Amino acid sequence: MSRFPFLLGTSLAVSLSLSGAPAQADGKHASHAVNQDGAVSSPTDAAKVAAFDIAAAHVHRKGRMATFHMTVAGKAGSQTPNAAGALGGAPVLSYVWPTSLDPASVGFQEKTGILALAATSHPDFDDTPLYDEDGDGDVSNDGGKWHSHWVVLTPTEGCGDGALGVRDIAEGESPALPATWPGLPIFIDSPGFTPLFDGPEITINVGFSDAAALDGATYDGVTSALVVNANVHAPLLCVSDVFDVASGDLSLPGQVQ
């Protein structure tokens, strides 16, 4: 597996409804398009890092189970960040599916931001305390292995003008949180859904307690970098760079089929 220094690219500056509702879109943005099966296709670009250059994003369901799928131009999951050596300033690389689902559908406080599923790698810290991804008997040393999270994203002033961050939990605040919340002071869940890699494809199979939550749901695909605040809170985790957006405009045009 190759590794490369923390990437700097185009910063994300978009307006998203705090209610979680997607922006209106006609299903197309430049040469990006929504296919008949609800998938969002995206043109590839040789100038981008191939492992994060999105060709398509797709979410399909069977009852209360949903499969989140992304295809890239290169080998998915083949690139991970170099360790920074400390939590403050630690880099994170991610494959992300922002959705129109209410955060309450997976156990967060309702209407608190944009619920997104993410596969992440970050060698400087382990935020899946219930799981041993590398199978060595230690649950605290495998943050660099690709793993899944639910996160709630909001425009966050401390992350820069118009940039997104994972929603913080303020001191004294006691919001509803999923049972598998890892204890960090942010809206993040570590549900244990294993990212599966197969050449250019990454898939994550996800279960929902209420199948009705998926009715009419929409989504997008994003590849991005995040960084832990040097002060390790307020905000804790910011989206620092975006490598690609499946729709081109983060309008969540994909339809769960």
pLDDT digits (tens, 9 = 90+) for 78-122: 999 999 999 999 999 999 999 999 999 999 999 999 999 999 999
- Quick check: 221 and 40 in contact, CB under 8 A? yes
The pTM of this model reads: 0.89
Cα 110 to Cα 101: distance, rounded to the nearest angstrom:
10
Domain of residue 142 covers: 2-255
Domain tally for the chain?
1
Mean pLDDT of 205-221: 96
Please give the C-alpha separations between residue 52 and each of 83, 222, 223, 225, 232, in angstroms, as whole numbers. 19, 9, 6, 10, 27
CA-based Rg of the chain, rounded to a whole angstrom? Answer: 17
Residue with the two structure tokens 């156990």: 107
Cα 179 to Cα 176: distance, rounded to the nearest angstrom:
9
- Quick check: 116 and 170 in contact, CB under 8 A? no
- Quick check: 79 and 5 in contact, CB under 8 A? no
Mean pLDDT of 143-169: 91
Cα 18 to Cα 64: distance, rounded to the nearest angstrom:
25
Give burial (CB, 10 Å; 0-12/13-18/19+) of 50. Answer: middle
pLDDT at 25 over 70: no
